[in-house]
Structure 1
Amino acid sequence: MNTFLVHAQSNFTISPVRPKAGHVIKASYQPKGTPLFGKKNVTATIYQFTTDYTWRKVEVKLVQQDTSWVLDYKLPEDVVVVAFKFKSGKITDNGQGMAYGWLISGEDDKVLPGAYAGWAFLRNASVPELFPDFTTDKFLIGDDVVDYWMKLQVRENPSTKRHIFYPALKVLKKMDPEKARKQAEEDLSYMKLLDNVNERELLAIKKVYAEILERPAAADSVGRLIASIDSAAIKRRNPEKLEAVKALRNERDIKKLLPMTIDFLERFPMDKADRAFDQQNFINYSKFYSSIAIVSSVEKDSVTFKKYVANAPFGSLADIFYRCMEVPYVSLKSFTAQEAYVYARPVMSRLLQFNQVKPEGFMDVYFSSIPTYANILMHLGKDEPALGFATSAQQKYAYGTATLNEVQAILLERTPGKTAELKQVLEQSMRKNQMTPLMMNMLKKQYVSLQKSEDGYAAYLASLKDVKLDSALENKVREAMIKKEVPDFSVKNNSGKVVKLSDQKGKVVVLDFWASWCAPCKAAFPGMKMAVEKYKNDKDVVFFFVDTQEKIKDYEAYVKKYLKDNNYDFNVLFDTGSSISKSYGVGPIPHKMVIDKNGVLRFSEVGYMGSPSELLDEISMMVELARKEN
């Protein structure tokens, strides 16, 4: 709902009619038909409801033009509602029953958060502390109208609930005490999930316990918490707290870090913190909870992990899920699905507790976690919830994420009666060029099953490709083409043979710089495997996977086992001391290079975008363009 002009009469106008915070407005007041008609020296009081949910009054002078009074005024950046009261001496005009008020919008032309609530508070005194002296009539609108605006506020901007839950409940109690009590329980549960609840919000919680639920003991308890947060004792401990934080930041021993962080939270709990001090000194509790979760997952200490994740602030959950599930389960494959589930389930449970609150970034964290969580559930045979998660995630990804597409395809393939849905997923994924090797096999299998033959499959596959996407990728590859001399190298491969670049003259050489610790490097391997298989019978194209920047002593043994376990028949070059990567200017990995048959570097690309089929197309385009160079 985009409501900007709340009320305008012929005797008062604002330009533009959709005023924006931080912009200049032109106000014109024509007093004919009002109590100020014929009066001199008309001035105005501008009532401004701000982003911190308080009222501010500004006295302004008007300029008379003929029979009108006009004003140019720049709205402050923090204003969400403005209302005008005109006066001359003791006589005033505020628009009477309707009020001269406007809701302010942002640069996106949407009504700013808090505006609907401010518009209600302006005209109803059921919550005295939020009612300005705009009118002597304390009930220009009824409580039912205030309730409407409050609900609209929360519906349009869910995050504003933390600011208005108490006044909304106070109004609701006047209309329906029992309904207010039930809503109060829900709202208090909501508030408990929020990060960094401030003193003002705690005071509102206290009032809810005291006035809405009529629980004086609970109200007193919150009062003591408020007092403790502002107590001199806490502030006196700030230097000690800062020293503890410095010690945590400097600790490099993972076995010491876990007990140190736990001790820190015990000594300086998040709900009893001097928030202003924390902000000034960049003390972020989300990082402490992340640290405990990460270290305890590495140590396989699920008890500690669950205990602290159950109370982790929202800001820590994305990092926890990525570091504790995504990396070990998807990239490093050091967790089985069962092991990953032990840690993934409490994180998802905690995340879903924030569903009602929906803090900023909630949907991004939720959707980014779903592909991996659905994968874990799938491997545990929990197909129904896994498919539900995967299907819902397509609302955001729309078949634009290969890993999610594969999970959904597998689940559909093994669910009876889902052949049509599977076909749709495979075809849509192909159109987005977000296919995995397994999905390519599924697509071919389904085609042969329906057509009873492979005849026409290549044409069918080509018909699913998006010409625009292919063209954009080709243009990107062509624009990335370079011409640079590179030095020779001579290193051993994973079969113990010495490989020299100079021996590859006359061939197109593809180099993939990677490391055993590099998650994106390994994520790209399925696509690289597709490329290797495509050119396996082409004697003029060779692939070398340069294992570089290693950090573990026995990396050669690890690499050989990793390749065998994952069925990667790669020719790996062990870049001891990272000599090749240094001489070739390789920094971040994965880093892929394509060298033409004359030994000239033609392509040098860093990173992996996540689609095996897209990577196959990109490498193929590079190889073919390099092949044409003389």
Structure 2
Amino acid sequence: MKLKTLFILLAGLSALTASAQRGPANPKLTELINQKDSVALKQSLETLYKSNEEEDLSLLVSYYNTKRNATRRDEVARLSRQKFPDGLAAFDEALNEIYSETDAVENEKKYKQFVARFGANPKLAGHRYFDTSKYFVAVTFKNNPEKVIEYLSGIKDTVYKTKAFSYAARETYARKEYVLAEKLIKKSIDDELKSSSVRSADYYAYAKQYAAALYANKKYTEGLKYAKEVAAAQDNSKDLAFNDTYLNLLVAKSQYNEAYPLMEESIKQGRASAEVKAQFKAAYAAVKGSDQGFADYEKSLYAQLKEKVSAELVKKMINEPAFNFTVQDLKGKTVSLSDYKGKTVILDFWATWCGPCKASFPHMQAAVTKFKNDPNVVFLFIHTWETVADPVKDAGNYISSNKYTFNVLMDLKDPATKSNKAASGYKLSGIPAKFVIDGKGNIRFRSLGNSAGGNDAFVEEISTMIALARSESSLGK
């Protein structure tokens, strides 16, 4: 059970008022955490473990979670579920099943069972998980706006509801359901304005999302209005995603005087969209008075990008033996890293629940496409840390529905050790995680080429890493 993931997600999703969100400090938990006497602490923990009171076992779960001891935490949670089948630990597990479910129809059934099972428990009355469960169900409904809105609208806590609409807008925007994303984030903006006449940090965060959705829906005038409002109110120098949206809107409205310096920087950083690159010549001519000298200038910008990437990557090269995993692909064929001896291999560890993993996939597809005719370069997408009942089907459906041409391998959990061997072999602490391995089986780069960069920068990074790995390997280094 992926309680750790659930705890992290709930921490991000919980949008109750400050007092309700944190709740009063539990003095018993504080006492345990601050206990310096190891003998006394051990005795207290043993007493709680043997207790027949659910509150004591819940306290113990909280203690081990605070101490990041997942093994003991899960053990106590299992004991609590055995002793109290409809208690708090069982409540947590049932919510986790709703969170993990990807099929909307099945999830709706689980939600109704969840409410029927726990809704009448007076100890759970008003618990925020009932609202959270509605969000989890809502976002499993793909291309079904009515159902998404139905479940989000059923959230009772008004503060959380406003945020939940914005979270769902992100989910649907990522799925390219732009019309629904626009509608959802507009609800968050309207609710925020109703609650306060002062423009809050949340309002500007929603306005950024709204501008992106409006751009995607080709509503450039309205989108630029919101983007300019954000730009005038905040320092967004580090918000690359918003800067991309703002620039794209300026370009869409042919506001070249303001857009041109941003276009230059975007190209040098490798973040420029297809639209920006397509209109760069027109912007150059509008600002300079003619397009004379444009071709050479454009080449110089791309050369600067290449130089920058190469200089940074040379400093980050490593030389460590790669773990020789053995896993299966989506068709059940056994695959090992050693099968690709002599080739440059790019590993990408991912999971369908991992947003940053999926955010990098359009860039990875561009890299795969670039090297598709090079027999000595291999991309392997290793699905790991699965959380669903049928991870092979889940991963395969995601790849096929998004039309990615990836070679997907399944790092399934070992039934005996409960670990994912490939992930453990590469000592992963998180995903996405990327590795570039040379022809001799040595890791040359790790966790580079993340989704923070634009498509050009990403592909340039991967290309340079491959070139450097080949060069060092051929020199025997």
- Asked whether the equivalents of residues 289 and 308 of structure 1 are also in contact (C-alpha less than 8 Å), the reply is yes
- Asked whether the equivalents of residues 185 and 206 of structure 2 are also in contact (C-alpha less than 8 Å), the reply is no
What displacement does 1:532 show? 3.0
1:429 to 261, 266, 283: 266
Instruction: Tell me whether 1:326 sits opposite 2:170 in the alignment.
Output: yes
- Asked whether the equivalents of residues 400 and 432 of structure 1 are also in contact (C-alpha less than 8 Å), the reply is no
Between Structure 1 and Structure 2, the one with more helix by share is 2
- Asked whether the equivalents of residues 267 and 302 of structure 2 are also in contact (C-alpha less than 8 Å), the reply is no
In structure 2, the partner of 1:611 is 453
Q: Distance in 1 between matches of 2:125 and 2:330?
A: 52
In structure 2, the partner of 1:210 is none
Corresponding letter in the other structure for 1:528: M
In structure 2, the partner of 1:627 is 470
2:299 to 423, 444, 459: 459
What displacement does 1:598 show? 0.9
Q: Which stretch shows the higher mean deviation, 550-559 or 386-395?
A: 550-559
What displacement does 1:525 show? 1.4
- Asked whether the equivalents of residues 511 and 545 of structure 1 are also in contact (C-alpha less than 8 Å), the reply is yes
2:158 to 287, 302, 312: 312
In structure 1, the partner of 2:364 is 528
Q: Distance in 1 between matches of 2:173 and 2:425?
A: 34
Q: Closer, same or farther in 2 for the Cα pair 1:497/1:421, shift >3 Å? A: farther
SS at match of 1:512: strand
SS at match of 2:158: coil
Q: Distance in 2 between matches of 1:463 and 1:603?
A: 23
What displacement does 1:346 show? 1.9
**Pairwise mapping of residues 64-79 of structure 1 onto structure 2 (< 5 A)?**
none
Larger RCO: 1 or 2 (CA < 8 Å, sep 6+): 2
In structure 1, the partner of 2:428 is 586
Q: Closer, same or farther in 2 for the Cα pair 1:455/1:298, shift >3 Å? A: closer
Corresponding letter in the other structure for 2:242: L
Q: Distance in 1 between matches of 2:118 and 2:215?
A: 34
Q: Distance in 2 between matches of 1:499 and 1:245?
A: 42
Q: Distance in 2 between matches of 1:397 and 1:565?
A: 38
SS at match of 1:456: helix
Q: Closer, same or farther in 2 for the Cα pair 1:575/1:292, shift >3 Å? A: closer
Q: Distance in 1 between matches of 2:440 and 2:280?
A: 39
Q: Closer, same or farther in 2 for the Cα pair 1:590/1:196, shift >3 Å? A: closer
What displacement does 1:350 show? 1.8
Query: Structure 1 vs Structure 2: percent identity of aligned residues?
Result: 27
Q: Distance in 2 between matches of 1:440 and 1:510?
A: 28
Q: Closer, same or farther in 2 for the Cα pair 1:381/1:585, shift >3 Å? A: same
Instruction: Tell me whether 1:483 sits opposite 2:319 in the alignment.
Output: yes
2:337 to 477, 496, 501: 501
What displacement does 1:489 show? 3.9
Gaps of 5+ in 2: 1-15, 21-58, 60-85, 99-110, 142-146, 414-419
In structure 2, the partner of 1:404 is 242
Q: Distance in 2 between matches of 1:452 and 1:605?
A: 41
Between Structure 1 and Structure 2, the one with more strand by share is 1
Instruction: Tell me whether 1:542 sits opposite 2:378 in the alignment.
Output: yes
In structure 1, the partner of 2:72 is none
Corresponding letter in the other structure for 2:299: A
SS at match of 2:345: strand
1:601 to 421, 443, 466: 443
Q: Distance in 2 between matches of 1:607 and 1:259?
A: 47
Q: Distance in 2 between matches of 1:544 and 1:447?
A: 41
Instruction: Tell me whether 1:353 sits opposite 2:187 in the alignment.
Output: no
Corresponding letter in the other structure for 2:468: L
Larger radius of gyration: 1
- Asked whether the equivalents of residues 593 and 602 of structure 1 are also in contact (C-alpha less than 8 Å), the reply is yes
Instruction: Tell me whether 1:518 sits opposite 2:357 in the alignment.
Output: no
Q: Distance in 1 between matches of 2:306 and 2:185?
A: 36
Q: Distance in 2 between matches of 1:513 and 1:624?
A: 21
Corresponding letter in the other structure for 1:481: M
Gaps of 5+ in 1: 1-192, 198-241, 270-282
RMSD over aligned CA atoms reads 4.6
Q: Distance in 2 between matches of 1:508 and 1:466?
A: 21
Q: Closer, same or farther in 2 for the Cα pair 1:563/1:458, shift >3 Å? A: farther
Q: Which stretch shows the higher mean deviation, 394-403 or 543-552?
A: 394-403
**Pairwise mapping of residues 276-425 of structure 1 onto structure 2 (< 5 A)?**
290-296=132-138, 298=140, 300=147, 302-303=149-150, 305-306=152-153, 308=155, 312-313=158-159, 317-318=162-163, 320-321=164-165, 323-330=167-174, 333=175, 336-357=177-198, 362-363=200-201, 365-394=202-231, 396=234, 398=236, 400-415=238-253, 417-425=254-262
What displacement does 1:562 show? 4.0
Q: Closer, same or farther in 2 for the Cα pair 1:446/1:543, shift >3 Å? A: farther
